[in-house]
């Protein structure tokens, strides 16, 4: 009877996790394959079954391939043996990576193919001729070491290429645990490099082992839960994996995953930088002459090092001097220097001016500062400078809007701010305020309110004056003010501009917030910044600047709606539908639900409305203007859009049915979590002098704008303008409305009905 693989009891045992489960699965598979070998009459001499790759390392995860070679002497025909042996494995439904080769053929392939060369570095005999297995292991290693320079060059290039494809394990919402930067494959590559005489430095091996076990345990639970291979840790699996591994929640799991990945990535980057330097040879290294770059700090062979006479134990500013030198020269900090810097005493409180100046200079260096902070943080040198960093380190932001952990987001934003210092009065406050704007996310409570208090404590400790501390707190308090107002409010409304001017207070703060807004948005994710948002923020800043400088809004607010062209169309007193570039203008005799019909047709054609305005003249001619963005392609198919608009306005288009059909066809297979967890309606009767503002938050879906505007029409509301914003997977839309007598809506009962109607409409999303 053919032996069967019985491993379900191992998979069902919750006490077996990570490496322990991999080892148990490997041992059970070893026993089964050895029994199959005997059942297939596998010989004890002249042929051997060997494990290679991950199975060779005895790291068989639940969804891993079983990678084996059937080795044989050239004189032995093993075709029948292979057929008898492979089929029982396939019958078990396992994915088998297999080949039949001689040792000579395997080594020949391993001399030119990197994958084969690395696979034979983990050869492990399973059955048959042990001498054949040992021969391949010994000769494979010897061949690898003989050609070490070539393989190291290829490995280095492969690591960079793989990172580009798979992204960062530490920061992606759904990381690739194996192939991403900081993933399991990086540790494998380090092991292969070590066999080619590339050496880890003291302490690295222990750091790698801890981090590797964290990622391996996570991958094993992912396989066990899904019952299939795969290395991308999807959002829907994170809670279950966290629970299986004993975490409080998925945030705790992802924080550990991020911490582990960053440790692996840092050691990997350091090793490959040293490998690349050694491959360049001594001649190229001699091109770099030693030079002093700061008191006690040298630039030597492309790395920043402490000078021979430097005394870390008496130099509290030395870590900052080394950091600034590394960022300015885009150089690594030499490892022994990092070790020596641990002896530096803490910075005095408050910081001397020199310390504050160095801290600012670090971030004014821009992008290189990110890697420098990461290096200091990996060696426990950053937290003594910024103790509050411990609360945000590797803290995940598990939504589709943010792409980085909180700490990395802050560093990225500060680096972005360095490129914007020309637009502000205080470059130092711009980079420091940007670095600290989300520091409250590491603590309980509203992150803005908490952040204001934290910065109120941090800034004096860093030596900032009371006036500067207040400015930094203003940056934290209003870090979302400009983007929120620009994308959600009517910028031609006096009340909007007055509100922002009053909140900001002065031009210095306004310019700092302008720089912070762009730097923060760029560091958040692709949904947070674009030409449309940049334009709106620029218009808002220009108008608020004018008012803060003593001017009147009427002096700078151009007649965007209705403009002279709009008025000329309106004067023709007939239906006109005009689509040009990203603008749609509709002139029509006013009729109930006109705006909703136009919004529905635009949605039907995959067009996102960015902003809209509407008015009706004394002759009941309606004018509506839309700015749109295509979801697919780069141009708007205006001919088809206009044709369907004509049909919809004539009542000859089954709009609701067509939208439902399109929603089914183009439905997202799954929705990533966003900032909006449930639909919400916010009423503001103070912001605008002329209208009631309804701000609607909802998960984005096909026809959301159409459903909202249809509900507004059914309640006899006059829509005068709208701002439509999509944040990742969320819709955050604002509508300026009047009642049927042209006044703000102030009746509490009426407002409650409006909220009820809007929430009901959003609940009907396909």
- How far is it, in rounded angstroms, from Cα 504 to Cα 492? 18
691, 697, 698, 702: CA torsion to nearest 10? 50
Joined together, the tokens standing for residue 358 give: 């160095």
Joined together, the tokens standing for residue 565 give: 């062209």
**Residue (of 485, 473, 556, 548) closest to 511 by Cα position:** 548
Give the pLDDT of residue 766.
Answer: 37
Please, which residues have CB within 8 angstroms of residue 576's CB and are 6 or more apart in sequence?
569, 585, 586, 587, 588
Q: Could you tell me if 372 and 495 are in contact, meaning their C-beta atoms sit under 8 angstroms apart? A: no
What is the secondary structure of 444-456 as a DSSP string? SS-HHHHHHHHHH
Q: Could you tell me if 370 and 412 are in contact, meaning their C-beta atoms sit under 8 angstroms apart? A: yes
Instruction: Verify that 568 and 700 share a domain, yes or no.
Output: yes
51-61: per-residue pLDDT in tens? 999 999 999 99
pLDDT of residue 518 exceeding 80, the answer is yes
415-462: per-residue pLDDT in tens? 999 999 999 999 999 999 999 999 999 999 999 999 999 999 999 999
Last residue of a domain, one of 119, 146, 173: 146
534-558: per-residue pLDDT in tens? 988 999 999 999 999 988 877 766 5
Give the pLDDT of residue 392.
Answer: 96
pLDDT of residue 144 exceeding 90, the answer is yes
- How far is it, in rounded angstroms, from Cα 745 to Cα 213? 60
What is the secondary structure of 324-357 as a DSSP string? HHHHHHT-EEPHHHHHHHTTPPPPPSSPPHHHHH
Instruction: Verify that 84 and 220 share a domain, yes or no.
Output: no
Give the pLDDT of residue 746.
Answer: 94
Instruction: Verify that 135 and 233 share a domain, yes or no.
Output: no
Residue 184 in any domain: the answer is: yes
Where on the phi/psi map is residue 230: left (φ > 0), alpha (ψ -120 to 50), or beta?
Answer: left
Give the pLDDT of residue 491.
Answer: 86
Give the pLDDT of residue 113.
Answer: 95
Give the pLDDT of residue 284.
Answer: 56
Give the pLDDT of residue 601.
Answer: 93
What pTM did the predictor assign?
Answer: 0.87
Q: Give me the mean pLDDT over the 22-46 stretch.
A: 94
Q: Give me the mean pLDDT over the 277-286 stretch.
A: 68
Residue 374 in any domain: the answer is: no
Last residue of a domain, one of 131, 146, 161: 146
Instruction: Verify that 540 and 632 share a domain, yes or no.
Output: no
**Residue (of 256, 273, 115) closest to 185 by Cα position:** 115
- What is each CA distance from 639 to 292, 602, 608, 703, 705, in whole angstroms? 67, 12, 17, 21, 22
pLDDT of residue 500 exceeding 70, the answer is yes
State the SS3 of 572-621: CCCCEEEEECCEEEEEEECCCCHHHHHHHHHHHCCEEEEEEEEEECCCCE
Give the pLDDT of residue 130.
Answer: 95
Give the pLDDT of residue 727.
Answer: 63
Predicted confidence band of residue 765 (pLDDT cuts 50, 70, 90)? very low
Where helices occur in 293-334 by DSSP H, the ranges are 318-329
Instruction: Verify that 206 and 270 share a domain, yes or no.
Output: yes
Instruction: Verify that 238 and 253 share a domain, yes or no.
Output: yes
- How far is it, in rounded angstroms, from Cα 661 to Cα 600? 13
Instruction: Verify that 686 and 700 share a domain, yes or no.
Output: yes
Residue 396 in any domain: the answer is: no
Instruction: Verify that 104 and 188 share a domain, yes or no.
Output: no
Q: CATH number for the domain including 739?
A: 3.30.70.260
Give the pLDDT of residue 667.
Answer: 58
Total of domains in the chain:
4
> Element (H or E) spanning 730, and its range?
strand 730-738
Q: CATH number for the domain including 215?
A: 1.20.120.330
- How far is it, in rounded angstroms, from Cα 581 to Cα 635? 8
181-208: per-residue pLDDT in tens? 999 999 999 999 999 999 999 999 999 9
Q: Give me the mean pLDDT over the 674-678 stretch.
A: 59
Last residue of a domain, one of 515, 538, 558: 558
pLDDT of residue 285 exceeding 60, the answer is no
Q: Is 212 helix (H, G, I), strand (E, B) or coil?
A: helix
Q: Which domain holds residue 462?
A: 406-558
Q: Is 479 helix (H, G, I), strand (E, B) or coil?
A: coil
Q: Could you tell me if 389 and 413 are in contact, meaning their C-beta atoms sit under 8 angstroms apart? A: no
Joined together, the tokens standing for residue 662 give: 């399109």
Residue 99 in any domain: the answer is: yes
Mean model confidence pLDDT for the chain: 91
- How far is it, in rounded angstroms, from Cα 232 to Cα 245? 17
Give the pLDDT of residue 301.
Answer: 85
Q: Give me the mean pLDDT over the 714-742 stretch.
A: 83
- How far is it, in rounded angstroms, from Cα 189 to Cα 200? 12
Residue 725 in any domain: the answer is: yes
pLDDT above 90 as % of the chain: 70
Q: Give me the mean pLDDT over the 80-86 stretch.
A: 90
Question: DSSP code of 181?
Answer: B
Q: CATH number for the domain including 470?
A: 1.10.3210
* 239 or 552, which is more confident: 239
Residue 750 in any domain: the answer is: yes
326-365: per-residue pLDDT in tens? 999 999 999 999 999 999 999 999 999 999 999 999 999 9
Residue 307 in any domain: the answer is: no
- How far is it, in rounded angstroms, from Cα 464 to Cα 459? 5
Give the rounded distance of the alpha carbon of 359 from its chain centre.
26
Predicted confidence band of residue 672 (pLDDT cuts 50, 70, 90)? low
The residue behind tokens 């089964």 is 32
> Element (H or E) spanning 49, and its range?
strand 47-51
Q: If you average pLDDT over each of 59-63, 593-597, 614-618, 730-734, which comes out highest? A: 59-63
**Residue (of 481, 498, 616, 627) closest to 557 by Cα position:** 498
Instruction: Verify that 539 and 628 share a domain, yes or no.
Output: no
Instruction: Verify that 102 and 245 share a domain, yes or no.
Output: no
Q: Give me the mean pLDDT over the 266-274 stretch.
A: 95
* 586 or 532, which is more confident: 586
**Residue (of 114, 121, 16) closest to 61 by Cα position:** 16
Instruction: Verify that 541 and 474 share a domain, yes or no.
Output: yes
pLDDT of residue 732 exceeding 90, the answer is no
Please, which residues have CB within 8 angstroms of residue 160's CB and are 6 or more apart in sequence?
none
Instruction: Verify that 554 and 571 share a domain, yes or no.
Output: no
Q: CATH number for the domain including 14?
A: 3.30.460.10
Residue 352 in any domain: the answer is: no
**What b/e sequence results for 547-565 when a residue is b if at least 16 CB atoms lie within 10 Å of its CB, and e otherwise?**
bbeeeebeeebeeebbeee
- How far is it, in rounded angstroms, from Cα 260 to Cα 257? 5
* 635 phi/psi in degrees, rounded to 5: -125, 155
Give the pLDDT of residue 729.
Answer: 63
């Amino acid at each position: 009877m053919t032996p069967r693989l019985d491993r379900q009891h191992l998979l069902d045992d919750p006490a077996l996790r990570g490496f322990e489960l991999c080892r148990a699965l490997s041992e059970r598979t070893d026993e089964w394959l050895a029994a199959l070998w005997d059942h297939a009459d596998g010989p004890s001499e002249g042929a051997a079954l060997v494990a290679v790759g991950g199975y060779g390392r005895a790291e068989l995860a639940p969804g891993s391939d079983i990678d084996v070679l059937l080795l044989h002497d050239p004189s032995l025909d093993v075709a029948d043996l292979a057929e008898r042996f492979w089929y029982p494995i396939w019958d078990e439904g396992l994915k088998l990576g297999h080949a039949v080769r001689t040792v000579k053929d395997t080594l020949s392939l391993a001399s030119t193919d990197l994958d084969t060369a690395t696979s034979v570095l983990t050869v492990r005999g399973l059955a048959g001729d042990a001498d054949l297995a040992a021969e391949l292991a010994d000769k494979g290693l010897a061949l690898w070491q003989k050609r070490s320079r070539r393989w190291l060059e290829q490995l280095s290039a492969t690591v960079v290429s793989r990172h580009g494809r798979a992204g960062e394990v530490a920061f992606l919402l759904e990381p690739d645990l194996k192939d991403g930067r900081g993933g399991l494959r990086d540790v494998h590559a380090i092991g292969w490099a070590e066999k080619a005489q590339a050496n880890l430095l003291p302490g690295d091996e222990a750091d790698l082992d801890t981090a590797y076990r964290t990622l391996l345990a996570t991958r094993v639970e992912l396989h066990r839960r899904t019952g299939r291979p795969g290395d991308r840790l999807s959002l829907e699996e994170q809670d279950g994996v966290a629970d299986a591994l004993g975490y409080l929640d998925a945030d705790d799991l992802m924080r550990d995953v991020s911490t582990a990945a960053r440790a692996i990535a840092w050691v990997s980057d350091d090793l490959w930088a040293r490998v690349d330097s050694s491959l360049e040879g001594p001649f190229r290294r001699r091109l770099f002459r030693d030079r002093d770059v700061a008191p006690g700090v040298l630039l030597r062979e492309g790395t920043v090092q402490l000078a021979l006479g430097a005394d870390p134990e008496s130099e509290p500013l030395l870590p900052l001097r080394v950091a600034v030198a590394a960022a300015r020269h885009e150089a690594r900090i030499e490892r022994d220097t990092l070790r020596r810097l641990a002896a530096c005493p803490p910075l005095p409180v408050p910081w001397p001016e020199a310390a504050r100046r160095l801290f600012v200079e670090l971030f004014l260096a821009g992008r290189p500062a990110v890697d420098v902070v990461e290096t200091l943080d990996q060696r426990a040198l950053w937290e003594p400078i910024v103790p509050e960093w411990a609360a945000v380190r590797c803290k995940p932001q598990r939504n589709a809007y943010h792409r980085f952990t909180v700490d990395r987001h802050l560093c990225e934003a500060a680096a972005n701010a360095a490129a914007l210092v020309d637009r502000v009065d205080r470059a130092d406050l711009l980079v420091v305020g940007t670095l600290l704007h989300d520091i409250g996310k590491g603590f309980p409570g509203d992150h803005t309110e908490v952040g204001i208090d934290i910065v109120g404590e941090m800034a004096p400790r860093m030596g900032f004056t009371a006036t500067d501390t207040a400015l930094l707190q203003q940056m934290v308090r209003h870090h979302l003010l400009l983007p929120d107002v620009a994308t959600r409010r009517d910028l031609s409304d006096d009340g909007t501009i007055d509100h922002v001017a009053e909140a900001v207070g002065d031009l210095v703060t306004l310019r700092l917030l302008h720089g912070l807004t762009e730097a923060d948005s760029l560091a958040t994710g692709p949904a947070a910044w674009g030409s449309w948002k940049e334009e709106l923020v620029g218009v808002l800043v220009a108008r608020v600047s004018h008012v803060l400088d003593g001017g009147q809004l009427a002096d700078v607010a151009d007649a965007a709606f209705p403009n002279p062209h709009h008025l000329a169309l309106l004067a023709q007193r007939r239906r006109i539908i005009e689509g040009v570039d990203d603008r749609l203008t509709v002139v029509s005799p006013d009729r109930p639900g006109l705006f909703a019909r136009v919004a529905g047709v635009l949605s039907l054609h995959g067009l996102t409305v960015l902003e809209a305005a509407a008015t009706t003249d004394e002759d009941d001619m309606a004018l509506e203007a839309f700015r749109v963005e295509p979801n697919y392609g780069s141009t708007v198919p205006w001919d088809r859009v206009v044709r369907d608009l004509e049909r919809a306005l004539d009542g000859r288009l089954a709009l609701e049915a067509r939208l439902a059909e399109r929603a089914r066809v183009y439905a997202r297979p799954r929705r990533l979590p966003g900032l909006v967890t449930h639909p919400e309606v916010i009423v503001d009767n103070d912001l605008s002098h002329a209208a009631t503002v309804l701000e609607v938050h909802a998960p984005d879906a096909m026809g959301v704008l159409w459903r909202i505007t249809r509900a507004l029409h059914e309640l006899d509301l006059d829509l005068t303008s709208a701002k439509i914003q999509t944040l990742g997977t969320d819709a955050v839309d604002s509508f300026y409305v009047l009642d049927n007598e042209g006044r703000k809506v102030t009746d509490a009962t009426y407002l409650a009905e409006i909220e009820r109607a809007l929430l009901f409409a959003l609940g009907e999303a396909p």
